[in-house]
Structure 1
């Protein structure tokens, strides 16, 4: 049957295993032409491409792992070597995330460069996917898949040249040296986690044959995740992409397990390493593993002690608590690491200028020149007039796009943790009442999370389609108004109030923080993280009037 699209058409042809087992029969409609095919049985799928499908299937029929009974063949007059590589890569990526079937592919799809007709093929793929849902091969719409953790971070993603180069350099060091240390850095959205999962996958599977690498014990490979709220998502990702057997643990769990091993782990990877811990007396019970005979150590030092090859992902602007390793100390400890920088922004539609703009006006850093007149050109950034207005806007956006959440600075007690009939946050403008997140782990994917307001500990490291950020009373802005009523952004300064900040473990030890500089450092970083979560846009409201005006002036300068 032919399925027309606006610019192109494709044909779906169904075959059985028996059709290919007949040596003397060939269907000339599919013989020696470029096609993409999907093999399936009751539980498994395998995606491939070929310009000689009968020759290719002579190999498939000998593979005892492939017990396929049905073959779906996709053919189009537009197909050539470039387009079938493209369709194959897209199918591998999306069918893995759809997870209705187990995907047998162990070799990643190929990196696709621009070619003549690529837009037509992209349009065609949407129609192909709809047909696969109709055929019972896929179950979820493309938009739903885009929101899934496994889709965003799977090692089957196409990589940029910068990302490929980083992967290659680290893999070369791992292969040709007995020990190595690597530091991957870059802004949110530059693909640090995807690089990590690609390296992991390349260590386990030979990307020429698709077979497990000889001599590798998967228990010698570890992925360490410092953020408990996302640990389960990483474990699920590792299992679904065929990397089961790899150790996936929190830092303290890893350290405990490593101490009981006869030898070091051969390969260790740490994502979100800015959340690795140093000793902090307020959290002494949770940080007992950092106590030594002559003082204290850090999780990074202990992890390094148990690894031959160590690769960590780090963002210096995402350290948010006193128990996180101090930035200066972290830099000293990693001074001898080989640094790999990722530059290109893939997540935020605003691009990397938006992040530099945030760092400038949160007074975190002025490291990149910001062209303010264009910074919000392709980004939906709005200053709202109340918590209620922000909350309703995010709920409406969630109806249209899904994965939109409201979050806030830690300026309210978590009363509902003990009293479910109470509330946590009151809108001073409308009097409306709201609740904090009812759980921390996996909150953004919880069914009722759009009805709640999340904190930093639910959202760091996550991607949202839109984010709504409430600035609490713990952060304010020194007045920058002039006598004539004008406003001078350069004269504004960020102020924090320890008595309004309700994260007990986020407050420095009393008497040690001169002029609240340390607390200010953490709070500014928290808002930087919150404001960088939205792919398509960010809505904001500040409970303090001066901070609210500061936000409005920031936006006005971009118009």
Structure 2
């Protein structure tokens, strides 16, 4: 490795033709582990091997890879088998999300290798490799740009946690069991439900001959065996990912369009079920399935219902899924139901109790760097199970931030600073201000005014989170649910307060401006549950931190009692 770069840990060699590697490979140790990237102008393939000559000969006989002529080989005197497997998986994730090449890889196997100096040394090696890939025009985007992108966050090219992989295994058992019709997977915000969905679809559409089982964990080998059995049975041919929320459905469609074997037509609206049936329907964000109550647009609900010979006044989208699928998987969280148009929790309670239904629980918090302890703290905080002045204790060594702000001006400035620093940092508010700027011909320039700060609600963009002007606006729950943010600043609006004498949350219905969010609600208690769900869900958008501010005095005092103040 005499030609190593100045940082000495890695050596990257480029060849225009694969055949040149065989001729010139005397320069390299052919028994030393390497990582390589094969490509032509549009497609690519990432691999690792300890015998690159033999591996490239095999690729030359592969119907799709034989057209990949150029190759980049990555070597290091620090490499071992575990390191190259880890680097291979990491390059697959980042190159797929970078988007310059369409990767022909199957999903990275779940290897779970831990090795000496994994974090200290090999993370720096990856940064050096990626920088050189950009200099060589192999990659376009920075690591930070990719990490913030939806294509990265919801990509199936992930190494799953043990619980997520167990969920995949349980879903496959469900698909293989003819006595079962429905599976309900329960998990709170940030427990990795959407990644499991995309991973499942890619796994069911992968070439299983790509895997070398000696490099894989026993759990993943068992998963592959179940997929093989399912493919042999040929019972799951047509499948769809159904998402009720338009914005998030658009996002997942874009993700699917970048993954070989998947396409955006697999991601459907529930209204499609008036015309189409599937062997398998997976419903993400199932807590947002609709019923007719208070729907603003009846046509999109009534027409599919009538095609299914159902009464629009009494049916719901869960019923449509059950009618139009041989097998159905619902990813569900009762604490993310935010409107009376969302179907009643009682329907899921009934569904879970049926003999043809299987239930699985996800509890591990994967989005927030505050971890499961933070999500549990929030649950206790909003259910009033905390002692007075009991605050969230940060995990040791964590940079996670959960801070209370007395000043909206200061909170907004901090969000803007974080957005400038690492991106994806947004303000979110409770719906206690009218959306005046939305009206056609509106002359108003702002919707929200607090302490002299004037702000607009989110613009009506399908992918508002990534819209370039969104850091100057305020997102509602309807634009942010389902998405990840690095930092979020939550404004508790005029519609919610805390009564210290009665020791309870109180609502002011006149100040809650989401008309379809309160009309027809059974009771004030039900409305309060929707509001608390909105705020808990919004807080858990933040990966690296969340800031909170309240308009009403009682709510200010409640937050100060349980959240560390910014100015301390």
Q: TM-score, normalised by structure 2?
A: 0.88
Structure 1 CA distance for aligned equivalents of residues 27 and 246 of structure 2: 56
**Using the alignment, how far apart are the partners of 2:295 and 2:285 within structure 1?**
22
What is the deviation of 1:118?
1.6
Contact persistence 1:508–1:518 (CA under 8 A) = no
- 1:271 is the counterpart of 2:273: no
- Structure 1 257/139 Cα, relative in aligned 2: closer, same or farther at 3 Å? same
Shift of 1:171: 1.3
Give 1:321 shift: 0.1
Q: Distance in 1 between matches of 2:312 and 2:487?
A: 48
Is 2:475 the partner of 1:449? no
Q: Does 1:3 align with 2:12?
A: no
The structure-2 alpha-carbon separation of the partners of 1:39 and 1:545, relative to structure 1 and needing over 3 Å to count, comes to same
| Aligned positions of 1:4-153 closer than 5 A | 4-5=6-7, 9-17=9-17, 19-20=19-20, 26-66=25-65, 67-119=67-119, 120-153=121-154
> For 1:371 and 1:241, how far apart are their aligned partners in 2?
46
Aligned counterparts of 2:63 and 2:529: Cα–Cα separation in 1: 58
Q: Provide the C-alpha distance between the structure 2 equivalents of 1:494 and 1:466, rounded to a whole number of angstroms.
A: 26
- Secondary structure (helix, strand or coil) at the match of 2:266 reads strand
User: Is 2:298 the partner of 1:287?
Assistant: no
SS of equivalent to 1:535: strand
Question: What are the ranges of 5 or more consecutive residues in structure 1 without an aligned counterpart?
Answer: 259-263, 481-490
Matched, 1:221 2:239: yes
Partner of 1:484: none
Q: Distance in 1 between matches of 2:60 and 2:341?
A: 57
Deviations 1:500-552 (A, max 9, x none): 0111110132xx644x1121111111111111111111111111111111111
2:424 matched residue in structure 1: 403
C-alpha distance in structure 1 between counterparts of 2:358 and 2:329, whole Å: 9
User: In the alignment, which of 380, 384, 409 is matched to residue 401 of structure 2?
Assistant: 380
Count of paired positions = 535
C-alpha spacing 1:240/1:373, structure 2 compared with 1 (3 Å): closer
Distance apart, 1:366 and its partner CA:
5.6
How far apart are the structure 1 equivalents of 2:436 and 2:136?
Answer: 50
Contact map agreement 2:45 2:103 (CA 8 A) in 1: yes
Q: For residues 341 and 525 of structure 2, what CA distance do their matches in structure 1 show?
A: 16
1:460 corresponds to which of 481, 485, 496: 481
Between 96-105 and 182-191, the greater mean CA deviation after superposition = 182-191
- Matched residue, 1:487: none
1:354 to 374, 380, 403: 374
Provide the residue aligned with 2:547 in structure 1.
539
CA gap 1:508/1:209 in 2 versus in 1, 3 angstroms: same
State the superposition RMSD in angstroms: 2.8
Match of 1:125, SS? helix
- 1:525 maps to 533
d(CA) in 2 for partners of 1:44 and 1:313?
A: 33
SS at match of 1:427: strand
Structure 1 stretches of 4+ with a deviation exceeding 4 A read 210-219, 370-373, 556-559
Mean CA deviation greater in 295-304 or 528-537: 295-304
Please list, as runs of the form range in 1=range in 2, the aligned pairs for 1:366-445 lying within 5 A after superposition: 372=391, 374=393, 378=398, 379-418=400-439, 419-429=441-451, 431-445=452-466
Whether the 8 Å contact between 1:108 and 1:207 is mirrored in structure 2 is no
Deviation at 1:476, TM superposition (A): 0.7
Given the superposition, is the C-alpha separation of residues 389 and 294 from structure 1 closer, same or farther in structure 2, using an over 3 Å criterion? closer
Residues in 2 aligned to 1:44 and 1:282: alpha-carbon distance in whole angstroms: 45
Q: Would the alpha carbon gap of residues 105 and 376 (structure 1) be closer, same or farther in structure 2, given more than 3 Å must change?
A: closer
Q: 1:219 touches 1:247 (CA, 8 Å); kept in 2?
A: no
Q: 1:145, 1:151 within 8 Å by CA — same for their partners in 2?
A: yes
Q: C-alpha separation between the residues in 1 aligned to 2:113 and 2:80?
A: 14
Q: Which residue of 2 aligns with 1:332?
A: 350
